Amino acid sequence: MSLRPHHPGTVEIMTAFSGEVENIPHDSLPPEQQFVMLTRHGIETNDVSQAEKFVPVVKIKIFSHDENGRLVDPQDAKSIRILEYDKDNKLIRSTTMRR
């Protein structure tokens, strides 16, 4: 396992429905949310001991939609999409949750 790279320090979280932006210290998040961790074969892992590369997550955008695809409060959402970006604003992970 290689050492984790330096994290820029904060993660910006933007909620699309409200437009709210919050900056939180990266170390207040668990490692699997601070970094996208990759094995030596480039496969994502949540196991820190298996990770060879750590890509810092510096921005998270959260989109919450109703059944018609309209933005709604996350509490009322039928689906939530989370987009995570690196320091160069490159999309590094996308997660969709459905209810």
pLDDT in tens, 45-99: 988 889 899 999 999 999 999 999 999 999 999 999 999 999 999 999 999 999 8
Contact 52, 40 (CB under 8 A): yes
CA pair distance 47, 77, nearest whole angstrom: 30
Long-range (24+ apart) CB contacts under 8 A made by 21-24 are none
pTM over 0.85: yes
* DSSP output for 23-42: EEEGGGS-HHHHEEEE-TTS
Contact 28, 83 (CB under 8 A): no
